[in-house]
Amino acid sequence: MTFGARVHAALAARGPFCVGIDPHSGLLHDWGLADDVAGLERFALTVVEAVAPVCSVVKPQSAFYERFGSRGVAVLERVIAESRAAGALVLLDVKRGDIGSTSQAYADAYLDPSSPLASDAITASPYLGFGSLDPMFDTARKHDAGVFVLALTSNKEGPEVQGARVEGGADGQSVGGLMIEHLRRLNDGAQPLGSFGAVVGATIGDTDVDLDFNGPVLAPGYGAQGGTIADIRRIFGSASGHVIASSSREVLRLGPDVAAMRDAVHVANDELRA
């Protein structure tokens, strides 16, 4: 199955809520764990135990593992493998973006099944030019994986680039809107859903960009960061059914209680489905 087909089925079966498995040093401290590799491993694998059997998608942020060097990356490998074994799709949040052979190397690292870091999908930055991501798209097609492109992010610095108007673009099109148009072309004709998604914040406010581009949307910022169900309906409209609403601290702060974290996922999924 293509990634688009897998994520479409997963959202229908498990719901649209995604948990970011992000071992912030502050969260390790709140759990009573040391900010070291042992604490990282205990934290991350406990979260996997709690949420991977019930989430459609989990999203580990690679940087929080990389900060511990090779031993931290080894923990990330276990998080990916054990999450997938529990039935969750893994969207690895790496936000990579480069050109040529380097872009291909990133694709091989994260999307080729022979890699220990192979995931179902990754996040990627298109701001060296959308075509710079072609090696990632090609590798994703080859291995039935997915790529989520940063389009309209919720950080306050984002509009400086994403809201800029494209020179010569139709009707003053924004850079972020142009990224969505590229994704619309990549996903054209895909059934039941394309494999190439966008990252669009659940807290971006109003936008004139048509976000129904036949692909999945990762919407970080849901829950503790202020994004609501009303925001999702307002921002995404007819594309709301393709939205993966993502939160991390909303769930992780309940640890190390496995049952409490799992219950929080169930509650979020019920709210989003309703």
pLDDT of 228: 87
pLDDT digits (tens, 9 = 90+) for 2-30: 999 999 999 999 999 999 999 999 999 99
pLDDT of 118: 98
Higher-scoring residue by pLDDT: 77, 234: 77
What angle do the packed helices 70-85 and 37-51 form, to 10 degrees? 10
> Tokens 């895909």 map to which residue?
190
172: burial class by Cβ within 10 Å (0-12, 13-18, 19+)?
A: exposed
Among the listed ranges 64-68, 205-209, 246-250, which one has the minimum average pLDDT value?
Answer: 205-209
Q: Kindly write down the DSSP assignment for every residue of 75-105, as one continuous string.
A: HHHHHHHHHHHTT-EEEEEEEE---HHHHHH
Reference 42, options 52, 53, 29; nearest CA is 29
Reported confidence tier of residue 185, pLDDT bands at 50, 70, 90 = very high
Q: What is the mean pLDDT of the chain?
A: 95
Is 222 in a helix, a strand, or coil?
Answer: strand
pLDDT of 168: 65
Q: Kindly write down the DSSP assignment for every residue of 185-219, as one continuous string.
A: HHTTT-SS--SEEEEE-TT-----S---SSS-EEE
Q: CB–CB of 212/183 below 8 Å?
A: no
pLDDT digits (tens, 9 = 90+) for 90-105: 999 999 999 999 999 9
**Domain coverage including residue 69:** 3-273
| Res. 223: pLDDT tops 90 | no
Q: How would you classify the pairing of strands 121-124 and 89-96?
A: parallel
The mean pLDDT value for 170-194 works out to 93
Q: Give the Å distances, CA to CA, from 35 to 1, 27, 70, 261.
A: 39, 9, 16, 21
Q: CB–CB of 28/165 below 8 Å?
A: no
Q: How many domains does one find in the chain?
A: 1
pLDDT of 208: 84
pLDDT of 90: 98
Catalytic residue among 59, 95, 142, 156: 95
Identify the CATH number of the domain in which residue 125 sits.
3.20.20.70
Higher-scoring residue by pLDDT: 230, 264: 264
- 59 in active site: no
The mean pLDDT value for 205-222 works out to 91
Q: CB–CB of 144/156 below 8 Å?
A: no
d(CA 247, CA 61): 12
Element (H, E) at 151: strand 146-152
pLDDT of 156: 86
Residue 18 sits at φ, ψ, to 5 deg, of -120, 135
